[in-house]
């Protein structure tokens, strides 16, 4: 196993690539009594069409998430479920646009839990009956997300900003989508993407790395799965423009919620590393819109907003800058932000100060094994690598580069969503 040291905090991660292509990441620590084990696959809701050989497969929106429910189908596998319970462990799973993660959190017998998680992942039985039964549960989950105004506005705005992107659909899909999902469609995806060279295992917590590594080797040897060529992702070319520039949604609210999204082609920035680009853009937005910015003070003092926050999303070849606000009068906010967004600035002092917040987050994220697992998982799903020198990466970000990025920003492609009473 290869030993890596996370700079500044002196924390170790061991990694290994097995002969079948599966990657293993082990973070041992004696600061906890618990452990967190996950197996993740680079298959999420961002894949809507792919090609294997000459065959093109259209994926029904919501399939990645539906598949997650059926792989982690503990109620259909009583034996595994009872074994997990008998160890006092908690099993869970999540799906986002970039991948799917299956995990077990526990404190008794890590090895047994690890084998159980691998059994869940590799012994699926997806049939028509269980798929139909799951539709009621997922339907309720879809309704739950739709009732969350913030999450609903996010998904609507992304849908409005893009012409042919994966964000035109939510991760969970619509009720009408999941009605079309069948056991056959899920099994096909499982067979095409749930392959070792598209999968990785993370173990964090209190354990012996050699013992865990040996168990994974033995399990994989017995399973004897081979590397498999991954299908080719089929994507439509996205346009620079936004699809819909303005949308109102009716809600029984005395104040208004607004999301103001700006779509920018990534080629405008001379940075290949999405993670670093994200850091720079977050600092620029934070310096101009967070509580320490002049604009925030002005907007609060003039009662233009009660709340304002920002976010940076990178979606394929595009960056989406998002400003969310709660305000008394949406028109006043939209008019002001439309003008002020074009006059963003950044001082060297502000830039250096904001870096400290990212450094704090880098250091304190090592306090919790669940956060460590999550950060490793997201790094691999999003960037396909882990930055062991992230402390220096942040520290070495420089003001001139930030100014260059700031000057590259274009604000022609805007989409707004707001509530009306």
Nearer to another protein, 52 or 300 (CB): 300
84 forms part of the interface with another protein (CB under 8 A): yes
Report the residue from 56, 128, 143, 412 that binds another protein according to the rule CB under 8 A.
Answer: 143
252 forms part of the interface with another protein (CB under 8 A): yes
| Adjacent-strand bridge partners of 199 | 41
Is residue 235 classed exposed, middle or buried when 0-12, 13-18 and 19+ CB atoms within 10 A define those classes? middle
Distances, alpha carbon 279 to alpha carbons 4, 245, 314, 397, in Å: 23, 27, 12, 9
Which residues, 6 or more positions from 405, have their beta carbon under 8 angstroms from its beta carbon?
269, 271, 277, 280, 281, 284
Nearer to another protein, 90 or 233 (CB): 90
Residues 22-51 that bind another protein (CB under 8 A): 31-34
345 forms part of the interface with another protein (CB under 8 A): no
Residues 347-366 that bind another protein (CB under 8 A): 353-354, 356-357, 359-361, 363-364, 366
| Adjacent-strand bridge partners of 26 | 14, 203
The full DSSP string for 361-412 is HHHHGGG-HHHHHHHHHHHHHHHSS--TTHHHHHHT--HHHHHHHHHH---S
Distance separating alpha carbons of residues 366 and 204, to the nearest angstrom: 11
Residues 274-293 that bind another protein (CB under 8 A): 290-293
Nearer to another protein, 18 or 359 (CB): 359
Distance separating alpha carbons of residues 182 and 241, to the nearest angstrom: 35
253 forms part of the interface with another protein (CB under 8 A): yes
Q: Are 6 and 388 in contact (CB under 8 A)?
A: yes
Q: Which stretch binds another protein (CB under 8 A): 12-20, 248-256, 271-279, 403-411?
A: 248-256
Distances, alpha carbon 293 to alpha carbons 50, 233, 307, in Å: 45, 42, 13
Residues 310-329 that bind another protein (CB under 8 A): 326, 328
307 forms part of the interface with another protein (CB under 8 A): yes
Report the residue from 138, 203, 262, 341 that binds another protein according to the rule CB under 8 A.
Answer: 138
Report the residue from 53, 147, 237, 384 that binds another protein according to the rule CB under 8 A.
Answer: 147
Q: Are 153 and 185 in contact (CB under 8 A)?
A: no
Retrieve residue 95's tokens: 């799906």
Report the residue from 135, 217, 228, 235 that binds another protein according to the rule CB under 8 A.
Answer: 135
Q: Under the rule (CB under 8 A), what is the footprint of another protein?
A: 8-9, 31-34, 74-75, 81-82, 84-91, 105-108, 133-141, 143-144, 146-147, 149, 251-255, 290-294, 296-297, 300-301, 303, 306-307, 326, 328, 353-354, 356-357, 359-361, 363-364, 366-369
């Amino acid at each position: 196993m290869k030993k890596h040291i996370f700079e500044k905090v002196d924390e170790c991660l061991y990694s290994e690539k097995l002969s079948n292509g599966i990657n293993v990441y082990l973070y041992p620590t004696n600061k906890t009594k618990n452990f967190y084990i996950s197996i993740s696959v680079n298959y999420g809701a961002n894949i809507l069409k792919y090609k294997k050989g000459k065959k093109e497969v259209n994926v029904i929106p919501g399939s990645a998430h539906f598949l997650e429910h059926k792989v982690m189908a503990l109620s259909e596998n009583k034996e595994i479920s009872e074994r997990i319970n008998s160890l006092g462990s908690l099993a869970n799973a999540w799906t986002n646009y970039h991948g799917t993660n299956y995990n077990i959190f526990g404190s008794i017998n890590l090895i047994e839990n690890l084998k159980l998680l691998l059994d869940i992942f590799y012994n699926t039985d997806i049939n028509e009956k269980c798929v139909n039964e799951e539709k009621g549960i997922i339907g309720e989950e879809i309704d739950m997300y739709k009732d969350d105004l913030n999450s609903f506005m996010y998904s609507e705005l992304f849908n409005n900003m893009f012409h042919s992107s994966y964000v035109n659909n939510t991760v969970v899909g619509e009720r009408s989508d999941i009605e079309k999902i069948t056991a056959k469609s899920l099994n096909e995806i499982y067979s095409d993407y749930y392959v070792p060279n598209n999968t990785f295992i993370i173990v964090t917590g209190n354990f012996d790395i050699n013992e865990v590594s040996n168990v994974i080797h033995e399990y994989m040897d017995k399973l004897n799965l081979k590397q498999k060529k991954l299908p080719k992702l089929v994507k439509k070319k996205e346009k620079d423009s936004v699809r819909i520039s303005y949308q109102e949604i009716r809600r029984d609210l005395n104040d208004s919620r607004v999301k103001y999204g700006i779509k920018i082609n990534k080629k405008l920035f001379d940075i290949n590393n999405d993670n670093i680009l994200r850091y720079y853009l977050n600092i620029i937005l934070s310096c101009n819109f967070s509580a320490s910015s002049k604009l925030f003070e002005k907007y609060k003092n003039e009662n233009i907003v009660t709340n304002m926050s920002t976010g940076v999303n990178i979606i394929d070849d595009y960056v989406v800058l998002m400003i969310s606000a709660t305000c008394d009068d949406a028109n006043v906010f939209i008019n002001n932000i439309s003008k002020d967004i074009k006059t963003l600035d950044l001082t060297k002092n502000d830039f250096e100060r904001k870096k400290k917040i990212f450094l704090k987050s880098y250091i304190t994220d090592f306090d919790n094994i669940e956060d460590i697992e999550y950060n490793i998982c997201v790094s691999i799903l999003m960037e396909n690598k882990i930055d062991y020198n992230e402390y220096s990466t942040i520290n070495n970000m420089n003001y001139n580069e930030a100014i260059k990025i700031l000057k590259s920003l274009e604000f022609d492609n805007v989409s707004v969503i707001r509530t009306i009473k």
